[in-house]
Amino acid sequence: MKVLVTGGCGYIGSILVPKLLNLGMDVVAFDIMWFGNYLEDNTHLTIARGDVRDIDSVPMEGVDAVIHLANVANDPCGDLNAKLVWEVNALATMGLVEKAIEHGVGQFIYASSGSVYGVKEEAQVTEELPLVPISDYNKTKMISERILLSYQNDIAVQMVRPATVCGVSPRMRLDVSVNMLTMQAIKNKLITVFGGAQTRPNIHIQDITDVFIHLLQSKDRFKGIYNAGFENVSIMGIAEKIVDTVPARIEVTESNDPRSYRLNSDKLLATGFRPRFGIQSAIDEIVTATESGFLDDDDIFYNIRTMKKLF
């Protein structure tokens, strides 16, 4: 099986691609490499540098399935350049699925975002609830889902709405809540919590990559949209978990980010998927990676800092 992974050199891709290779698949990792490339050479791996906006440059020959991870990730980066986030996250998605259909690709798996729900008061946020995106990033994810649904008669479409991802990757991100707060505790012995009462769903990077593999191996058995988040914890709750592991104090300040919701992932669990990791696993990994020298608090691990330099 040959799989095209867009964003294959990114935070999630750097964990997913080696897993696919270990399963005996041929993989094409297509990435613009703004944040580098940490993938190791493999005879079954092709690494192609390119921009998903340039659809003609995306290698689709012989591809059986596409896992579309490439995007301008998170709200601050979307706010930095709204035109860029719409071109990359929405328009390129349409071009990509159309090219996949033209080349006879049978399966298209899309990494959307749990943030498309916006602010929800419901105790459990299921896939059937209306979407109320509140940023350009959230809106592009919602529009991309609608685009892909319009092609579902031509290709098997599976869309995942992940919770906030945590855990260690060779292409690390320290601008997502668990990772960021853990690094603050390690480096400064101080965690700054903005607000704190907002509840956010979380998923470990090993689990979200396993979700993509689970759907990939299901082929067209499970179509449609799936939430993927298994720990709904307040920001303050995350901070308290961290200080139980890393001696640090917590400082609370006001927040202008009202997003608060609890993902229900029963639909995904009904397909047979089971998570194996969690927030505590991520905290422990980051502590170990920092102590061993594998991980530093470097600007390249913060998307917004890197993009400000690029643009």
> What CATH number should be reported for the domain holding residue 43?
3.40.50.720
Count CB-CB contacts under 10 A for residue 130. 8
Kindly state the helix (H) or strand (E) to which residue 224 belongs, with its residue range: strand 224-228
Say how many CA atoms lie within 13 Å of 56 toward its Cβ: 0
Rounded Cα distance between 181 and 69, Å, is: 24
> What gap in Å lies between CA 5 and CA 27, rounded to an integer?
7
Structural domain of 86: 2-310
Q: What's the total number of domains in the chain? A: 1
Strand ordering across the sheet containing 224-228:
45-49, 26-31, 2-6, 65-68, 107-111, 156-162, 224-228
Strands 199-204 and 231-234: antiparallel
Digit-by-digit pLDDT tens for the chain (311 residues) are: 999 999 999 999 999 999 999 999 999 999 999 999 999 999 999 999 999 999 999 999 999 999 999 999 877 777 778 899 999 999 999 999 999 999 999 999 999 999 999 888 888 999 999 999 989 999 999 999 999 999 999 999 999 999 999 999 999 999 999 999 999 999 999 999 988 888 889 999 999 999 999 999 999 999 999 999 999 999 999 999 999 999 999 999 987 777 778 899 999 999 999 999 999 999 999 999 999 999 999 999 999 898 888 87
